[in-house]
Amino acid sequence: MQSKANHFFSDIQSGIVVFLVALPLCLGIALASGAPLFAGIISGIIGGVVVGFLSSSQLSVSGPAAGLTAIVLIAITSFGDYKIFLVSVIIAGVLQILLGLVKAGTISNYFPTNVIEGMLTAIGIIIILKQIPHAIGYDKDNEGDFFFIEQNTGHNTFTGIIDAINYTHIGALIVSALSIAILIAFLKIDFLKKLKTLPSALVVVLFGIALNEIFKSAFPQFSISQDHLVSLPIPESFHDFFNQFTLPAFESITNPQVWFTGVTLAIVASIETLLCIEACDRLDPLKRYTNTNTELFAQGTGNILSGLIGGLPMTSVIVRSSANINSGGKTKIATITHGLLLLVSVIAIPSLLNKIPLASLAAILIMIGYKLASPKVFYKMWESGKYQFIPFIVTVIAVVFTDLLRGVAIGLFVAIFFILRANLKLAYFFKREKYQAGDVITIKLAQEVSFLNKAAIKQTLNHVPDGSRLVIDATDTFYIDHDVLQLIKEFLEIGSKEKEINVELIGFKEEYDLENAIEHVTF
């Protein structure tokens, strides 16, 4: 019981941190997508409460995703009416439910670990790079912009940082620097580490608000203006609040473009979700595994509800999920708490939230990014060997310099290349000895020999010295591909005779149509 109670309180704390991280991201992604700002909040609330409840993942946090902004922006611009786009969101949700029912989520089992590690590390680097401008008071780019090529300006991440340096705001820089110092202190100082009921991120946010209020009254030259604070829509009445919800234009259901957009959203959102779920399971300190088919069902349900009331499409999001894990979240109470806090805050305290400096939130995100991209991760992957490190580092570079899906695709390609190469070498054990008449070559086949091993075995047979003795041992083998069997037969009947090689077969099954202990002695 005590353990569950500890989880409960740590989850509430983590939910608060995720809420603070998610709030500006929801607004920023909505702005970058060309959607109403409140649409991002709706997606965040449903992603937290509804998807959080239905999902089998204990740590994943869902909401509007940066990876969908380009698709959403193009679709809204093309339709010319946000209500039409909402029908595509509903279609995407229905398709995701169908994907879950046909168990398409199992594809996540085939994502190599080194690629997932590379994706997480790259996300950490991106977070740090993207938050540097916000940390020094340059907020020209949206909080939800995680692309290397910036959507609004066409500049890249590095030129954005250079531009930001030219517009450094001293007040924001002081806030972010002190905020990072506070976060580090909570990690290093024993007294602060023991304050389990006080989230360091909440302390940073309250500190940022208080410090800016001091700047306003005593040091106006350092004061942070509203342009550099959270900007949440403030309804003047309950009527205005409910007017922020938008109903879909169902009459557009016959529009082929609406269906095309829905299919595109379903595919991209599902892939991003599966990648995030796999990453969350990797980061889970309790090493639990998520039913990805249930996750697709939960995401689909969330997208249907979001589309019905005017929200953006959602996915499981690694930035929020990693914030949850790094803040000590253990169960889905954390993600549900973050969703409830989003709901309560937009109703009850929007004015207070609009006092939070983006520099404070940037400090929190920079520390999250550092934990994901710690030098220890690079060292661990380097120690794992080149077959693990090369796909990892390629994925890191590709994700940082392109985007999540393209980068992971490149990393997968490289990982598959190394997997195939490893398979070619692991098809058999090769042993060479000397005897009176010549060499003895022993090829002991592995438990499973696929067509991928054909090239390596063929090359080995071609290089067996003339006049030697060859032993092919299949004693421990339970499967040999037809192409490999055909290769061995041809060598037995033709190749070995031409090179005067004595061939002995051991342990081959009757169905292989090869006789055991056959010897061709031609000399």
Q: Does residue 521 surpass a pLDDT of 50? A: no
Residue 430: the pLDDT is 54
Q: What is the mean pLDDT of residues 75-94?
A: 95
Residue at 120: amino acid letter? L
**Calpha distance 289→282 (Å, rounded):** 9
> How crowded is residue 467: how many other Cβ atoms within 10 Å of its Cβ?
14
> How crowded is residue 283: how many other Cβ atoms within 10 Å of its Cβ?
18
Q: What is the mean pLDDT of residues 185-211?
A: 88
Q: Report percent pLDDT > 90 for the chain.
A: 53
Residue 152 tokens read as 């609004």
Tell me the pLDDT tens digit for each residue of 294-311: 999 999 999 999 999 999
Degrees to nearest 5, angle at CA 209 with 203 and 210: 85
**Calpha distance 280→287 (Å, rounded):** 9
Q: Chain-centre distance of CA 159, in angstroms?
A: 25
Residue 83: the pLDDT is 96
Q: Report percent pLDDT > 70 for the chain.
A: 90
Which DSSP helix (H) or strand (E) runs through 502?
strand 502-506
Tell me the pLDDT tens digit for each residue of 211-269: 999 999 999 999 999 989 998 888 888 888 888 999 999 999 999 999 999 999 999 99
Which DSSP helix (H) or strand (E) runs through 30?
helix 2-33
Q: Does residue 435 surpass a pLDDT of 70? A: no
**Calpha distance 408→397 (Å, rounded):** 10
Residue 501: the pLDDT is 87
**Cβ contact 120:318 at 8 Å:** yes
Q: What is the mean pLDDT of residues 463-469?
A: 84
Domains and CATH numbers, the chain: 2-373 (no CATH), 426-512 (3.30.750.24)
Q: Nearest to residue 52, comparing CAs of 41, 63, 42? A: 63
Q: Chain-centre distance of CA 14, in angstroms?
A: 20
Tell me the pLDDT tens digit for each residue of 471-482: 888 888 878 888
Q: What is the mean pLDDT of residues 494-516?
A: 79
- Residues ≥6 apart with Cβ < 8 Å to 373: 121, 122, 123, 124, 125, 128
Q: How far from 472 is each of 399, 446, 466, 478, CA to CA, in Å?
A: 45, 11, 16, 14
Question: Tokens 């983590």 map to which residue?
Answer: 14
Residue 61: the pLDDT is 96
Tell me the pLDDT tens digit for each residue of 343-392: 999 888 889 999 999 999 999 999 999 999 999 999 999 988 888 899 99
Residue 102 or residue 418, greater confidence:
102
Kindly report which listed range (81-90, 336-345, 426-435) carries the lowest average pLDDT score. Answer: 426-435
Burial of 417 (0-12, 13-18, 19+ CB in 10 A): middle
pLDDT band at 321, cuts 50/70/90? very high
Q: Chain-centre distance of CA 481, in angstroms?
A: 35
pLDDT band at 149, cuts 50/70/90? low
Residue 121: the pLDDT is 94
**Cβ contact 353:230 at 8 Å:** yes
Q: Does residue 431 surpass a pLDDT of 70? A: no
**Calpha distance 421→425 (Å, rounded):** 7
Residue 436: the pLDDT is 46
DSSP states of 110-125: GS-HHHHHHHHHHHHH
- DSSP state, residue 62: E
Q: How far from 151 is each of 63, 69, 146, 255, 468, CA to CA, in Å?
A: 20, 9, 9, 28, 66
> What CA dihedral angle connects 368, 371, 375 and 380, to 10 degrees?
-140
**Calpha distance 49→342 (Å, rounded):** 10
For the chain, the average pLDDT equals 87
**Cβ contact 126:400 at 8 Å:** yes
Q: Chain-centre distance of CA 20, in angstroms?
A: 20
Q: Does residue 425 surpass a pLDDT of 60? A: no
Q: Does residue 40 surpass a pLDDT of 70? A: yes
Residue 17: the pLDDT is 93
**Calpha distance 169→160 (Å, rounded):** 15
Residue 420: the pLDDT is 74
Question: Tokens 């540097």 map to which residue?
Answer: 132
Report the sign of the C-alpha dihedral through residues 34, 36, 37, 41, in that order.
negative
Q: What is the mean pLDDT of residues 45-73?
A: 93
pLDDT band at 518, cuts 50/70/90? very low
**Calpha distance 506→377 (Å, rounded):** 46
Q: Chain-centre distance of CA 373, in angstroms?
A: 13
Residue 355 or residue 468, greater confidence:
355
Provide φ and ψ at 248, rounded to 5°: -70, 155
**Calpha distance 270→259 (Å, rounded):** 16
Residue 464 tokens read as 């067996």
pLDDT band at 208, cuts 50/70/90? very high
In total, the chain counts a number of residues equal to 523
**Cβ contact 275:288 at 8 Å:** no
Tell me the pLDDT tens digit for each residue of 121-138: 999 999 899 899 999 998
Report the sign of the C-alpha dihedral through residues 70, 281, 393, 388, in that order.
negative
End-to-end alpha carbon distance in the chain = 80
Provide φ and ψ at 458, rounded to 5°: -60, -45
Report the sign of the C-alpha dihedral through residues 211, 216, 220, 221, in that order.
positive
